A and B are shown apart, each in its own frame.
Chain A
Amino acid sequence: MTEGIGARVLRKEDKRFITGKGKYTDDIKMENQAYAAFVRSPHAHAKVTGINADAAKAMPGVEAVLTGPELVADEIGNIICGWAVSSKDGSPMNMGAWSALATDTVRYVGDAVAVVIADSIAEAEAAAEAVEVSYEELPVVVGSVKALADGAPQIHENAPNNMIFDWEIGEEAATDAALAGAAHVTKLDIVNNRLSPNAMEPRAAIATYDEAEEHYTLYTTSQNPHVARLVLSAFYNVAPENKLRVIAPDVGGGFGSKIYIYPEEIVCLWASMKTNRSVKWTSTRAEAFLTDAHGRDHVTTATMGFDAGGKIVGLKVDTKANLGAYMSLFSSATPTYLYATLLSGQYNIENVYCNVKAVYTNTVPVDAYRGAGRPEASYVMERLMETAAREMGMSPADLRLKNFITEFPHQTPVIMAYDSGDFAANQKQAMEAADYAGFEARREEAAKRGKLRGIGFSNYIEACGIAPSAAVGSLGAGVGLWESAEVRVNAVGTIEILTGSHSHGQGHETTFAQVVADRFDLPLDGISVVHGDTDKVQMGMGTYGSRSGAVGMSAIVKALDKVEAKVKKLAAHTLEASEDDIVIEGGAVKVAGTDKQMLWHEVGLAAYLAHNLPEGMEPGLKEGAFYDPTNFTFPAGCYICEVEVDPDTGTTEIVQFVASDDFGTIVNPMIVEGQVHGGIGQGIGQALLEGVVYDDAGQLLSGSYMDYTMPRASDLPSFSVHHQSTVCPGNPMGMKGCGEAGAIGSPPAVINAITDAIGNNDLSMPATPSKVWAAIQAANAATAAE
């Protein structure tokens, strides 16, 4: 088996992408297609006092100008948050109304007020410019701390002090007592910078309404077309599910930003019915910066206590999470159940307490972005550990080693029950790969060249493979997070796998086929993966939270179990043998120890001919399964970053970046390494380059690639990626998931390395040259003053 589990198989999907034959939403052109252009608020907070579309409606090519009140009149539902998080006093979260087109108030720059439908993009955009909207400006607040302050502008009437919820986890009194008795306390104020996801394919949608059938078709850039259909149908009243087909064709990256159902998709569907034309919208990059859900944006104070020997005795964390102007689909879960539940890190900590205040501001909604809560947790933990080691004069590696959880399962004080791991093994592997022992010599050599060299660790753990439906249900999730699969063996023996796990770069068309090839010892060529179309795949929960392997592939395994059982039964009947003696190998179904066999395709044919089936067996060879995980999975690892800083300019060069990850079973190392590379790239981007900036008036200052610094090739090194795995006991293949780890683990390693290099721990992300230079000057001044 050279194409099965563990093989570095080249991707089946590549050919269409390298030859320009990929089919992304914007590549599709419908008959009778019109184009949508949105009229967006230029103000961060204002009353809409009037809309005059007369001039716009009279312009060439304009089909319609539609506004919020018409949308409401047609009973299109408000956009919802799908995860109910309650405050510590038991009160429900304060979800403010969010209409796909604003009705009376706009709450961030880019909030959609009206839409123009026209024959061409140019005509639609020109007419959108001509729509006259009158605003009465209201006071604006953009930061979470200011939004919570007394007298701050109020963004939603039902959220006093802009507080969405005031949530807690863990035992506060016990944690306070543990900290009070600690021999050493490390305290940090931490800002986790706000990011723009920036999938390279901008969002897009094409909606078509079939009047005769009262049926809608939506092509869209979604990570989870079935969730989109469910929400559009159940909550937004666009159409019943059987009258709504959602297709997510090739999708050019998601990173979380394409989980959500945004106003534009809803409006395109509604407008296609209003105009009886296909309505297409493709985001510009400027619109993407304004309207794609942002990520992170935490302001945190964290306190960790240690006993005299360096053992952690308690951790207390206070976080203000900026959720923007409205609550996006998973916005409430990201800074709570996906964040604070990881605040035990890789460490045995008896007392953990976290308070999270989620806050409205006049900024675009914030939701899950690659890692979603776990990068914020890992940043808190690993900045604290590195800082504490320095303060206590211990080696950062030894301090971690002293506190690692070593026995599994391990129940943390913050819900999660870790099932497996060998954190010391990952740290050892990373330290060897990084030649940690040789670092001081490298530091001295760099100093001779006038460079400041530093090294930093990050020992992350995350929870993914989301998630057990009953568990997340008990925590407030409005959906179950299982996955479905169907395995169809055709009469000629070829196989189609239908899955709810959408692929938008992850390589499912290859790895999912590898699982089947491995099971039945068949060549990959005859195995296809079907995904991304609600008419083809019955149901699925989609791709996010590193769940496609641990959950999506587990569903395939369950379906394969059923196919295998039927194949064996049929072959045993045909070959007149016992089912127990049947083996599947080498493209045949054989009676072990004999020369009796059926070729694989003969079994398929026999199932469909149905001329001679065992009594009671239905014809055909197709099985489906739903898999609901029993626990989260817990990928973990150790990342080591080594930097050189130029003290004259503050410029940081990453001279080496080493990753040792525990992902459990790996289906295709090539693809897994690619996921790690990309995740680390995004994490280094967060640490060094990226940051969303709004001014005090709520205007987005980082609204283009001229202003928001995306990592370029010259900003990143080649990565040294290694694996040291323990098998996950929670799913049939032992998988943990690899999609987010790089983005979760890397930012603290980078900042730990820079702060080590410059001798000043007071450095925030993104660590731009000017910030690093200023931190160096501050450190020098402090030294001079001593």
Chain B
Amino acid sequence: MTKISMTVNDKAVSRDVPDNTLLVEFIRENLRLTGTHVGCDTSQCGACVVHVDGKAIKSCTTLAASVDGATVTTVEGLANGKELHPVQQAFKDNHGLQCGFCTPGMIMSATDMIARYQASGEELTEAAIRHELEGNICRCTGYHNIVKSIQDAAAKMANA
């Protein structure tokens, strides 16, 4: 067992867990934050994406112990109180989700993607969005409205 402490969604948390506990297990089973999902076992689908110290990572292939002391944001921590994050709002406004299972990972990846492109000043084109979504699989939407959602969010966040 290992004692793991981190800040998750602005809250300090600490749990004793088996050494081989994955970050996604820590989040889902120990913290009971079930918005982060598991859709595969080969680190391909991206349903488990969370932010660790501001960067999008796949929590299904990260040992919880390896991010001891980190600041973690899950989809539950993205909104500012009752006010949705612009990426969340854009997914709703553009019908960027159907069954909703891949959505948390999509939103966390999109948020990271937009932040990186805006920091670098590079334009987040449709082609760039599609390329960046390599690690997130959706079976419902054909990605059409996910791409639109990210374009919409990026535009609104650039003007914010």
Instruction: Check: B33 CB closer than 8 A to any chain A CB.
Output: yes
Interface string of B74-105 (1 = CB under 8 A from A): 11101100001000100111010111111110
What residue in chain B is nearest A288 (Cβ atoms)? B40
Q: Are A20 and B34 in contact (CB under 8 A)?
A: yes
Which residue from B88, B133, B142 sits with its C-beta under 8 Å from A714? B133
Which of A246-254, A519-527, A575-583 sits within the interface? A246-254
Instruction: Check: B123 CB closer than 8 A to any chain A CB.
Output: no
Interface string of A208-221 (1 = CB under 8 A from B): 00000000000000
Known: A19-B75, A22-B35. A674 touches B40 (CB 8 A): no
Q: Are B88 and A712 in contact (CB under 8 A)?
A: no
Give chain B residues whose Cβ lies under 8 Å from the Cβ of A706: 42, 44
Instruction: Check: A441 CB closer than 8 A to any chain B CB.
Output: no
Which residue from B18, B35, B133, B138 sits with its C-beta under 8 Å from A20? B35
Q: Are A17 and B103 in contact (CB under 8 A)?
A: yes
Which of A97-105, A198-206, A778-786 sits within the interface? A198-206
Instruction: Check: B59 CB closer than 8 A to any chain A CB.
Output: no
Give chain A residues whose Cβ lies under 8 Å from the Cβ of B136: 713
Q: Which residues of B in the span 35-76 have a Cβ within 8 Å of any Cβ on A? A: 35-42, 44-45, 47, 74-76
Give chain A residues whose Cβ lies under 8 Å from the Cβ of B102: 200, 252
Q: Are A255 and B141 in contact (CB under 8 A)?
A: no
Q: Which residues of B in the span 103-160 have a Cβ within 8 Å of any Cβ on A? A: 103-104, 107, 126-127, 129-131, 133-134, 136-148
Q: Which residues of A in the span 710-731 have a Cβ within 8 Å of any Cβ on B? A: 710-714, 716, 718-719
**Minimum Cβ distance to chain B for residue A417 (Å):** 32
What residue in chain A is nearest B134 (Cβ atoms)? A712
Interchain CA distance A684-B144 in the complex, whole Å: 13
Which residue from A678, A705, A713 sits with its C-beta under 8 Å from B44? A705
Instruction: Check: A637 CB closer than 8 A to any chain B CB.
Output: no
What residue in chain B is nearest A21 (Cβ atoms)? B35
Interchain CA distance A358-B133 in the complex, whole Å: 40
Which residue from B28, B84, B140 sits with its C-beta under 8 Å from A19? B84
What's the tally of chain A residues with a CB closer than 8 Å to chain B? 58
**Minimum Cβ distance to chain A for residue B34 (Å):** 4
Which residue from A23, A684, A713, A719 sits with its C-beta under 8 Å from B146? A713
Interchain CA distance A22-B129 in the complex, whole Å: 26
What residue in chain A is nearest B21 (Cβ atoms)? A122
Q: Are B45 and A200 in contact (CB under 8 A)?
A: yes
Instruction: Check: A285 CB closer than 8 A to any chain B CB.
Output: yes
Instruction: Check: A10 CB closer than 8 A to any chain B CB.
Output: yes
Interface string of A1-27 (1 = CB under 8 A from B): 000000000110111111111111011
Q: Are A201 and B79 in contact (CB under 8 A)?
A: no
Q: Which residues of A in the span 670-688 have a Cβ within 8 Å of any Cβ on B? A: 670-671, 673-674, 677-682, 684
Q: Are A198 and B139 in contact (CB under 8 A)?
A: yes
Instruction: Check: A507 CB closer than 8 A to any chain B CB.
Output: yes
**Minimum Cβ distance to chain B for residue A294 (Å):** 15
Q: Are A507 and B76 in contact (CB under 8 A)?
A: no
**Minimum Cβ distance to chain A for residue B67 (Å):** 19
Give chain A residues whose Cβ lies under 8 Å from the Cβ of B142: 677-682, 684, 711, 716, 719, 742
Instruction: Check: A504 CB closer than 8 A to any chain B CB.
Output: yes
Interchain CA distance A285-B42 in the complex, whole Å: 8
Give chain B residues whose Cβ lies under 8 Å from the Cβ of A677: 141-145
Interchain CA distance A507-B141 in the complex, whole Å: 12
Known: A20-B74, A681-B142. A507 touches B42 (CB 8 A): no
Q: Are A17 and B45 in contact (CB under 8 A)?
A: no
Interchain CA distance A19-B76 in the complex, whole Å: 5
**Minimum Cβ distance to chain A for residue B129 (Å):** 7
Give chain A residues whose Cβ lies under 8 Å from the Cβ of B126: 718
Q: Are B131 and A24 in contact (CB under 8 A)?
A: no
What residue in chain B is nearest A670 (Cβ atoms)? B95
| Interface SS of A by simple majority | loop
Q: Which of A14, A250, A251, A253 has the most CB of B within 10 A?
A: A14
Interchain CA distance A21-B77 in the complex, whole Å: 11
Known: A22-B100, A705-B42. A713 touches B47 (CB 8 A): no
Instruction: Check: A29 CB closer than 8 A to any chain B CB.
Output: yes
What residue in chain B is nearest A17 (Cβ atoms)? B100
Give chain A residues whose Cβ lies under 8 Å from the Cβ of B45: 200, 285, 705
Which residue from A21, A253, A705 sits with its C-beta under 8 Å from B98? A253
Give chain B residues whose Cβ lies under 8 Å from the Cβ of A26: 34, 38
Instruction: Check: A284 CB closer than 8 A to any chain B CB.
Output: yes
Known: A11-B92, A18-B88, A18-B92. A713 touches B42 (CB 8 A): no
Q: Are A250 and B93 in contact (CB under 8 A)?
A: no
Instruction: Check: A704 CB closer than 8 A to any chain B CB.
Output: yes
Instruction: Check: A59 CB closer than 8 A to any chain B CB.
Output: no
Q: Are B95 and A674 in contact (CB under 8 A)?
A: yes
Give chain B residues whose Cβ lies under 8 Å from the Cβ of A15: 92
Known: A251-B99, A286-B41. A678 touches B137 (CB 8 A): no
Q: Are A674 and B92 in contact (CB under 8 A)?
A: no
What residue in chain B is nearest A707 (Cβ atoms)? B42
Q: Are A704 and B40 in contact (CB under 8 A)?
A: yes
Which residue from B18, B97, B146 sits with its C-beta under 8 Å from A14? B97
Instruction: Check: A574 CB closer than 8 A to any chain B CB.
Output: no
Give chain B residues whose Cβ lies under 8 Å from the Cβ of A716: 130, 142-144
Interchain CA distance A112-B112 in the complex, whole Å: 41
Instruction: Check: A469 CB closer than 8 A to any chain B CB.
Output: no
Give chain A residues whose Cβ lies under 8 Å from the Cβ of B130: 712-714, 716
Give chain A residues whose Cβ lies under 8 Å from the Cβ of B146: 713
Instruction: Check: A505 CB closer than 8 A to any chain B CB.
Output: yes
What residue in chain B is nearest A14 (Cβ atoms)? B92
Interchain CA distance A714-B147 in the complex, whole Å: 10
Give chain A residues whose Cβ lies under 8 Å from the Cβ of B32: 29
Give chain B residues whose Cβ lies under 8 Å from the Cβ of A286: 41
Known: A199-B139, A677-B141, A704-B40. A20 touches B75 (CB 8 A): yes
Interchain CA distance A670-B94 in the complex, whole Å: 9
Q: Are A21 and B40 in contact (CB under 8 A)?
A: no
Known: A198-B139, A505-B140, A677-B142. A18 touches B103 (CB 8 A): yes
Q: Which residues of A in the span 726-753 have a Cβ within 8 Å of any Cβ on B? A: 742
What residue in chain A is nearest B144 (Cβ atoms)? A677
Q: Are A718 and B144 in contact (CB under 8 A)?
A: yes
What residue in chain A is nearest B20 (Cβ atoms)? A122
Interchain CA distance A16-B36 in the complex, whole Å: 13
**Minimum Cβ distance to chain A for residue B74 (Å):** 6
Instruction: Check: A275 CB closer than 8 A to any chain B CB.
Output: no
**Minimum Cβ distance to chain A for residue B153 (Å):** 11
Q: Are B95 and A671 in contact (CB under 8 A)?
A: yes
**Minimum Cβ distance to chain B for residue A14 (Å):** 4
Interchain CA distance A679-B139 in the complex, whole Å: 9
Q: Are B92 and A252 in contact (CB under 8 A)?
A: no
Give chain A residues whose Cβ lies under 8 Å from the Cβ of B107: 18
Which residue from B29, B41, B129, B141 sits with its C-beta under 8 Å from A674? B141
Give chain A residues whose Cβ lies under 8 Å from the Cβ of B100: 13-14, 16-18, 22, 250, 252, 505
Which residue from A19, A27, A200, A284 sits with its C-beta under 8 Å from B139? A200
What residue in chain A is nearest B127 (Cβ atoms)? A714
Give chain A residues whose Cβ lies under 8 Å from the Cβ of B92: 10-11, 14-15, 18
**Minimum Cβ distance to chain A for residue B135 (Å):** 9
Q: Are B147 and A713 in contact (CB under 8 A)?
A: yes
Give chain B residues whose Cβ lies under 8 Å from the Cβ of A679: 142
**Minimum Cβ distance to chain A for residue B157 (Å):** 16
The 6 residue pairs across chains A and B that have the minimum distance between CB atoms: A20-B35, A681-B142, A252-B101, A17-B100, A505-B99, A505-B98
Could you jot down 9 A-B contacts, CB within 8 Å?
Answer: A20-B76, A29-B29, A199-B139, A252-B39, A253-B101, A284-B41, A704-B44, A710-B139, A716-B142
15 further A-B contacts with Cβ under 8 Å, apart from A671-B95, A714-B130, A716-B130, are A10-B95, A13-B100, A15-B92, A16-B100, A18-B103, A29-B29, A200-B45, A285-B39, A678-B139, A681-B142, A705-B44, A712-B143, A713-B146, A716-B142, A718-B144
Residues of B at the A interface (CB closer than 8 Å) are: 18, 28-29, 32-42, 44-45, 47, 74-76, 78-79, 84, 88, 91-93, 95, 97-104, 107, 126-127, 129-131, 133-134, 136-148
